[in-house]
Amino acid sequence: MDTTKPPGSSHPPAGTNRPHTGRRRNEAAHQAILDAALDLLAHGDGAPVSIDAIARAAGIGKQTVYRWWPSKGALLLDALTHRAAQDVADPDTGALPADLLAFVTSTFDAAQHPGTAPALRTLVREAARDPHLADLMRAYTASRRAALHDLLDRGRSRGELAPDTDLDLMVDQIYGLFWYRFILECAPLDRTTARRLVRALLPTTPPAAG
């Protein structure tokens, strides 16, 4: 008997490969988990965020979460780092003033993001009494410091900073101001502040932000 499917059939003939969508589904699930983790931190009223809660919010099985992350801390660190990579510019235009201004401005802007700021404040608050979360915060801040240090080092290698410039001190000055104002909410983290900070740190005046 002829089993060939007639023209227009909704099913492909036997042996025809179907389009593979697993990678696309995995990427969507991965992003859903990261978004759910930050959203629960931002709107959880200070309650501990569990893997179970993150999986439910993402519509993903708990086993899938554990297959990709060994612990809740690893997941939260990945979520924050991923969001920072999306929100904070890491330009390499060949001009340190413009690059640094873009980095600082986008860092300040990201701190105002409704999906990031509450989550980050929750982690800062909880890290004061949870050693595991304190380690998480140290890992997160170290990754952001490294990104800024690399940007400054590129400028130094081009001769835009003196060879003996203390890059770690510059990083401290930038993130010191950031965390002081972010945690205490005592002064703005706006583009005017970003321009003034970059102007104070560099021997040249940065261009105005757009």
Instruction: Give pLDDT, residue 25.
Output: 57
Number of residues that this document lists for the chain = 210
The domain defined by 23-70 carries CATH number 1.10.10.60: yes
- Tally Cβ neighbours within 10 Å of residue 193: 17
Q: Tell me the pTM.
A: 0.74
d(CA 1, CA 166): 82
Domain ranges of the chain: 23-70, 79-201
Percent of the residues in the chain that have a pLDDT greater than 90, as a whole number: 49
- For the record, the structure tokens of 43 come out as 């709107």
Mean pLDDT on 13-27: 51
The predicted-structure confidence for 66-108, as pLDDT tens digits, reads as follows 999 888 878 888 888 888 888 888 889 999 999 999 999 999 9
Residue with tokens 């205490």: 184
177-190: average pLDDT: 94
The CATH architecture annotation of domain 79-201 reads: Orthogonal Bundle (1.10)
- C-alpha distances (whole Å) from 134 to each of 81, 123, 130, 137 are 15, 8, 6, 5
CA-closest candidate to residue 207, choices 95, 92, 91 = 95
